[in-house]
A and B are shown apart, each in its own frame.
Chain A
Amino acid sequence: MHTKEIKKLISLLLVAGILLFSSACSKQESPDATAQTQMSEKSQANSEFENAYLEADKLRQQAAELEYEWSNTESFLLDAKKEFADGNQDKAMHLVEQARQEAELAIQQAKTEAKAWKARVIK
C-alpha cells in the first residue's frame, strides 16, 4: 500500500472514530440529566393519576347528587390514593378506572330509572 493510501485510510478511520464517539456521547446522560428525566417521568405519572382521580371523583359526585352513588365507588378512590402513595401505580390506576366506570354506570342508572320506574307501579 502506498503512503498516500495509508494516510487516506487513517483519516477515514479517524473520522469514523470521531463520529462513533460523538454518537455514544449523545446517548450517555450525565447523572444530573438522569435524575431530571426520572423526575419528569414521576411528575407525568403524578399528573396522569391526579387527572384520572379527579375525573372519576367528579363523576362519583354527580352520582351522589342524583342519590344514585354505588356503595363501593368512594372506597375504590380511597384505595387508589393509598396504592399510588405506596408506589403501586398500575394498581392505583386500575382502581381509579373501576371507580370511574361505577360512577358512569350509576349516572346512567339514574337517567334510565327516571322514566323506567313508572312501568312498575301497581295499577
Chain B
Amino acid sequence: MFIFYLFSGIILSALFFATFISDVKKSILALWAAGLGVGSLFLILGAEFLAIVQWIVSTLTAISFIFFAVLFGEHQRQPSNKIKTRFIQLLLSLLSGGFFLFFIVLGSNRTNSSSSFKEIPHEVPEFFNSKDNVFYQDGFAVSLKEEGLSLPPTIHDDFKSYANIELVDFGKILISDQFLSLEILGLLFFLVLIGAGMAARQAKRSSQ
C-alpha cells in the first residue's frame, strides 16, 4: 500500500506541476513523468501489458509534444495576462475540477456499495488461474504465498479470488468479445491519418 500511495503522490505532484507551470517544456516533461508513474501503477495492480503500452504511449506523446512546442515557437515562457483575468480563470478551472472529482467519487461510492468482497460467487470466473492464488483485502490483491497463508478448502465460497490477467486471456477478449471495437479503432486511426494529413497541409497560394 505504501508503494501505491508513493506512486500516486508522484503522479499527482507531476500533474499539478504540469498544469500550473508556464514553461511548456517543463510541463511536458512533468506530463511524461506522470505517464510513467501511471504505467508503474498499472504494473503494481497486475496489468503488465497496459503498463508497457502506457510507458510507450507516454514517451511518444512527450516527444511529439516537445517537437510541436518547438515548431510552434512555444518553447519560451508564455506572456502572462492580467492578474484579475488569470485569477478568474484559475478559480473557474478549480471549481470545475472540484465538481468533476466530486461526481467521480460519488459515482464510485454508489457502484462499490452494491458489490461486496464477501459475496459468494456461484461460478468460477472464466479466467481464474489457480497457479498463484490471490484474493482481495481492502481493495488490494494479496498473494497468499507472500502472506504465508494457506488456502481454505472452499476458497471459491469464501473469497472472490482474482489472479493476474494472463496476456493470452487479454488477447482472447480482444479477438472474441471486443473484436468489433478493435476494428472500429483501426478504422478510426485510418480516418484520423487521412483527415490529419488533409487538415495540416499548407493552404494553396492563389495564382496571380
Q: Does B associate with A?
A: no
Residue ranges of B at the interface with A (Cβ–Cβ < 8 Å): none
Residue ranges of A at the interface with B (Cβ–Cβ < 8 Å): none
